Structure 1
């Protein structure tokens, strides 16, 4: 009885929408006014100590293990919890445990491969054909995922104002779509680096198939080990979230080191306008070593390294829509996914995709493109008009 009373206490002030909560004894309570569209079902009790230690980790694991079920939209439920400042998703009293992180070169390899090397065939099922695993850019509401992902790559490359013959570096090149587009559409020479063996193999093979092997180079290496090279343009998409809080300065120092004096860099990544943060469940199960930096924190590191911020653009709502489309693809292909993944994995990824969409929807996190040049560089156009011609 005491345990149930504590549950009711923290759940009663956690949502901004009406939510039906059904407990392990079959009894239900509705929190909020109106007809609930989401039901949170506790099949088994979760230790109160674990919830107060870190609610995100305890509840996430409980969902993965089937101790919790959710009828209705997980995205709506978590969005509601993020929008309530005193909920278990926001209050520090539910985050006593914060995981320690390490970002040595050896640990970084293990962390990246833990997420990205779980099988290209798995990612092919729910990503678009270009295998682009980052925020898309919806120029029109009716854009398909594939169109929006190509829009994003084009948007990045336009911002860089590329010229034929230039040298482009992509730090954290993923499955290579940006490299291939840059070479094909702008006649540059492109270099990518990744720590993912499967991504490296895919880029090498695809470059060969496209006849681009002489123009595309890819290295399986840590960004910190790239030396004695200089590039006209640098891109890095969804990368700095993996380097760790303690390495952000070194990351931008490396960008400065590798960028020519008249060059430009487009850094695209998840940021928080409210300041940096980690999530214990995401850190343990999805992105080991992940850290979402604050916007002010990032700008500080950029300017310390004499990188000048000339343009900043938020794509927060675009990432919400991207994740919703990934999730729809994921759910529509569960039969195929079940051939190689068990139910715990499927529940984990279902929660991950919807929770991230909710986090963007509620403005808990943002995704921002930072356009940078070196100090005193005046090579880019003075207005943004060149992006839309």
Structure 2
């Protein structure tokens, strides 16, 4: 088994310096010896067998269980080395066959009903809200920030993200807005504050629903902003603007026609939608099985080739498309560093295995955005070509106006964030 696994690893790891210690105590070195040393130990034969046959699932589980232990470097260093060398869709041997079989099964079961969607959302977003306050910004934005300048803080990037999205929505004062997957309400409150918008948000998370409405009441916008525990498919009224940030990944591949058909029905004739989601820059590829099992059940990150034809089929027009490449990698870097700085508090909230799971999740997500072709797609959608200006200059102009209205961003101590009863916004 040592030889089989070693042959598999050596066929993929060609650069870097990786040392693996096997259950019998033997060691094998992989790579060309360049860069910092990354060393790990596989503690038992069962873990070795699982890593040999299904590494996409087994590495995360073994790290959580303590049977795959880092001895030099961190789990981030290990995943960065692996992902820098190998695209997962190019896995060879038995792991490659296991990946293809799982991909086929995942596509067959890709429809998320209302009840299944609620269960999937609860798995991740109804966790103890104090967990998210360990690593998010002061507004607890749980989606990709927008880094306008080198050295921007997480606070600056998350404010810039809201500003960038609002500018692309071509907002006018007093318009009605539907926020699909409204999270803990930060974006909806931003639109109400700067555009006097009438915002209706929908979420399937009970945790998000309670906290977002508490934030509305505290903000004084309760007469024009409301968040509802409701599936987007149950909404019937029309809106001038629709926005969805970080929710489309949970729709499910088989549900795309249903999603965009509903968007078409809910938009006014001159309406505009801004869709922001995690996508793939290459050809379609299924979600990692460990992520599906432990982090985002029912999640799928589509390629543009899977999204654009559905938009067209539903009679909608793509009026703008932007790809944000390494913005999420930088966002996740901040989150990972913040989490590790307060890791003991995560252990106190849950346990050591949960903290290991979260550490693996943040490291895997960041390295995937750096090396595995994950990106953010922002698609502006309308029913009529005339719904948005002819050139993109309006985006920078709107951002400049919003920037002048916003309060200066200051650094928020992590201890102060821990006391704030606010959470993430999709």
**Is 1:93 the counterpart of 2:102 in the alignment?**
no
How far is 1:34 from its partner? 1.9
**Pairs within 5 Å for 1:325-364:** 325-364=334-373
CA deviation map 1:1-28 (0-9, x unaligned): xx11111111112223221112223322
Structure 1 partner of 2:44: 44
Contact kept? 2:192, 2:199, Cα under 8 Å: yes
Q: Secondary structure at the match of 1:183?
A: helix
**Is 1:145 the counterpart of 2:143 in the alignment?**
no
**How has the CA–CA distance of structure 1 residues 288 and 201 changed in structure 2, closer, same or farther, with 3 Å as cutoff?**
same
Q: Matches of 1:89 and 1:349 in 2, distance apart?
A: 26
Contact kept? 1:19, 1:38, Cα under 8 Å: yes
Structure 1 partner of 2:23: 24
Q: Of 258, 262, 269, which residue of structure 2 is paired with 1:261?
A: 269
Contact kept? 1:275, 1:297, Cα under 8 Å: yes
Q: Secondary structure at the match of 2:386?
A: coil
Contact kept? 1:316, 1:363, Cα under 8 Å: no
**Pairs within 5 Å for 1:151-230:** 151-227=160-236, 229-230=237-238
CA deviation map 1:247-305 (0-9, x unaligned): 01111111111111111110000111221422110000000111111111111111111
**How has the CA–CA distance of structure 1 residues 244 and 132 changed in structure 2, closer, same or farther, with 3 Å as cutoff?**
same
How far is 1:40 from its partner? 2.4
**How has the CA–CA distance of structure 1 residues 155 and 87 changed in structure 2, closer, same or farther, with 3 Å as cutoff?**
closer
Deviates further, 16-25 or 353-362: 16-25
Q: Matches of 1:179 and 1:330 in 2, distance apart?
A: 26
Q: What TM-score do you get using the length of structure 1 for normalisation?
A: 0.94
Structure 2 partner of 1:8: 6
Structure 2 partner of 1:59: 59
Contact kept? 2:18, 2:29, Cα under 8 Å: yes
Aligned residue pair count? 385
**How has the CA–CA distance of structure 1 residues 221 and 362 changed in structure 2, closer, same or farther, with 3 Å as cutoff?**
same
Contact kept? 1:312, 1:370, Cα under 8 Å: yes
**How has the CA–CA distance of structure 1 residues 77 and 342 changed in structure 2, closer, same or farther, with 3 Å as cutoff?**
same
Structure 2 partner of 1:114: 123
Q: What TM-score do you get using the length of structure 2 for normalisation?
A: 0.86
**Structure 1 vs Structure 2 CA RMSD:** 1.8
Q: Matches of 1:169 and 1:225 in 2, distance apart?
A: 13
**How has the CA–CA distance of structure 1 residues 94 and 80 changed in structure 2, closer, same or farther, with 3 Å as cutoff?**
farther
Q: Matches of 2:184 and 2:220 in 1, distance apart?
A: 16
**More helix as a share of residues:** 2
**Is 1:322 the counterpart of 2:323 in the alignment?**
no
Q: Secondary structure at the match of 2:274?
A: strand
Q: Secondary structure at the match of 2:278?
A: strand
Q: Which blocks of at least 5 consecutive residues in structure 2 are unaligned? A: 398-426
Q: Matches of 2:374 and 2:174 in 1, distance apart?
A: 37
Contact kept? 2:4, 2:52, Cα under 8 Å: no
Q: Secondary structure at the match of 2:287?
A: coil
Contact kept? 2:47, 2:67, Cα under 8 Å: no
Structure 2 partner of 1:240: 248
Q: Matches of 1:56 and 1:167 in 2, distance apart?
A: 44
Q: Which blocks of at least 5 consecutive residues in structure 1 are unaligned? A: none
**Is 1:249 the counterpart of 2:257 in the alignment?**
yes
Relative contact order, CA 8 A, sep 6+: which one is greater? 2
Q: Matches of 2:86 and 2:131 in 1, distance apart?
A: 36
**Is 1:270 the counterpart of 2:278 in the alignment?**
yes
**How has the CA–CA distance of structure 1 residues 385 and 86 changed in structure 2, closer, same or farther, with 3 Å as cutoff?**
closer
